[in-house]
A and B are shown apart, each in its own frame.
Chain A
């Protein structure tokens, strides 16, 4: 670095812009969480103050816990997200391996076919997806959501994973073949462990949209027993619009798990986005 690009005024201006934007990004989240711990009076009188000894209250959380089945919603979201990620990664990696490893007729065509879904949103087919789920009796089951999210995640997963699998050394795989390993053993024992970072990237990419989706839970699984956290909080907040304590607490409860996951995975996510874009 030389002096031409390091000028104290510029550095100061850069920090000023970034601090202002960070405040804009975090302020709404901060306001919601802070006010969820306050009494109704304090929420309205001093919305920007931190909860003090006289304004602290957990009444909103008590209402939420009593009224909404948030533990069940959370569990549903967890099952759907984890199962979808598992199938996206397993099926995606298998297909990516087939496409990147073997030369067979129709390879390129198959690659293009699977890549179609990267640009075309699966929501366009909603009418027929619902019809299909009704015919197969999968409406109001978590399996319906898992299948839809798996189909939705596969195109990008295959695309990213096959890029990475092309980089796995041929010598390693051929050494395995000479040792008499089957193609399946080569895939599961040799190749999969080597593309673990790419798998993590795909997982983190898919996790947030699946967890946050409102459209498919609303259409395919709106029953009480299968509501996801996103749909559950939507319905709950809709019913309690006038109970500000409950609404703010429900919002905070919905923010919390995502925020925790984000803090754990943010490094992976950011590395994934930055390395993916380089390609």
Chain B
């Protein structure tokens, strides 16, 4: 090891990973940010500075689509935060109960939707919620709530929320597993010490376990954030690239796809597509920074 020679083996070990990663991930990422500063005129690429962004935020047609997609994306994220994560925590808390029978079976079964592709999930729910097939109305009338039924995916006011809930159905297994793992690491002595002081059952969960799993909840929140702000597949599979009805389910991923590839009469524009990608990059970066510097550093971690 002390040989002063150049250590070629380090280069050999690192080179393949660094090359592939740089060429396919980092370089295109920055190239996309750069392409956002160009436009095409007479089949030539022309540098236009921030003109594309001025169009994106300033031109009423573009701005309306952009803010619509961004707003929808935030709503999509919000539903995940208030529905998916609490359900995941609840299931994990029950599963981590010592000596619960069949815990392995429940865990495996509840995780099944997570392994299915968006195409399967999107179409499956589309069929189940469809008024033609009638499974959803039948089930609702079986519990006497038939009047609540509406063709949710076809209604502008419900479609996005419905899709967000479908996505929650699909991904609830991930917070469940991560919280479950975190709960298992809490040492028995701490819970017993709580019991000696009369803290049991629900209050043990709120006062002892929840503070201890906060770092995991933080990680899940940022994973959900990044995942939601680059989501595309579910909306595309269920509603198509037009994110209907009337763009009410349009999120940044589908908006970028349409802009990049064109739809109906509008031609595809890689430069505007890059501008939207840049905006998505900025949003994700802000989210990650808020998490890293604002949240993660304030959460207290306990070492056992």
Indicate if A233 sits at the interface (CB-CB under 8 A).
yes
Of A29, A94, A177, which one neighbours B116 at CB under 8 angstroms?
A: A29
Of A31, A184, A247, which one neighbours B128 at CB under 8 angstroms?
A: A31
Residue numbers in A under 8 Å from B108 (CB-CB): 266, 270
Contact with B along A243-279 (1 / 0, CB 8 A): 0100110010011001101100010011001111110
Indicate if A224 sits at the interface (CB-CB under 8 A).
no
Contact with A along B1-41 (1 / 0, CB 8 A): 10000010110111011101101111111011001000000
Given contacts A14-B100, A255-B116, A258-B115, contact A21 B24 (CB under 8 A): no
CB atoms of B135 and A48 under 8 A apart? yes
Residue numbers in B under 8 Å from A110 (CB-CB): 14, 18
Residue numbers in A under 8 Å from B182 (CB-CB): 277-278
CB atoms of A158 and B17 under 8 A apart? yes
CB atoms of B116 and A258 under 8 A apart? yes
CB atoms of A25 and B110 under 8 A apart? yes
Of A122, A258, A266, which one neighbours B25 at CB under 8 angstroms?
A: A122
Contact with A along B223-243 (1 / 0, CB 8 A): 000100010110011000000
Most buried by B among A43, A47, A121: A121
**In whole angstroms, what is the CA distance A278 to B301 when docked?**
12
Q: How many residue pairs bridge A and B at CB < 8 Å?
A: 267
Given contacts A22-B106, A128-B28, contact A154 B118 (CB under 8 A): no
Indicate if B123 sits at the interface (CB-CB under 8 A).
yes
A162-186 residues with Cβ-Cβ distance < 8 A to B are 177, 182-184
Indicate if A212 sits at the interface (CB-CB under 8 A).
yes
**In whole angstroms, what is the CA distance A116 to B261 when docked?**
28
Residue numbers in A under 8 Å from B35 (CB-CB): 127-128, 131
A236 to chain B, nearest CB (A): 10
A9 to chain B, nearest CB (A): 11
Question: Residues of A at under 8 Å CB distance from B?
Answer: 1-2, 4-6, 10-11, 14-15, 17-18, 21-22, 24-26, 28-29, 31-32, 43-44, 47-48, 87, 90-92, 94-95, 97-99, 102, 104, 110, 114, 116-117, 119-132, 147-148, 150-152, 154-155, 158, 177, 182-184, 187, 208, 211-215, 218-219, 230, 233-234, 237, 244, 247-248, 251, 254-255, 258-259, 261-262, 266, 269-270, 273-278
CB-CB nearest 9 A-B residue pairs: A212-B117, A125-B28, A151-B24, A128-B31, A128-B28, A95-B17, A98-B13, A274-B181, A277-B181
Q: List 16 A-B contacts (CB under 8 A).
A: A5-B200, A14-B94, A21-B110, A43-B133, A44-B133, A114-B17, A119-B288, A123-B253, A125-B29, A126-B277, A128-B31, A212-B115, A244-B133, A251-B120, A270-B108, A277-B182
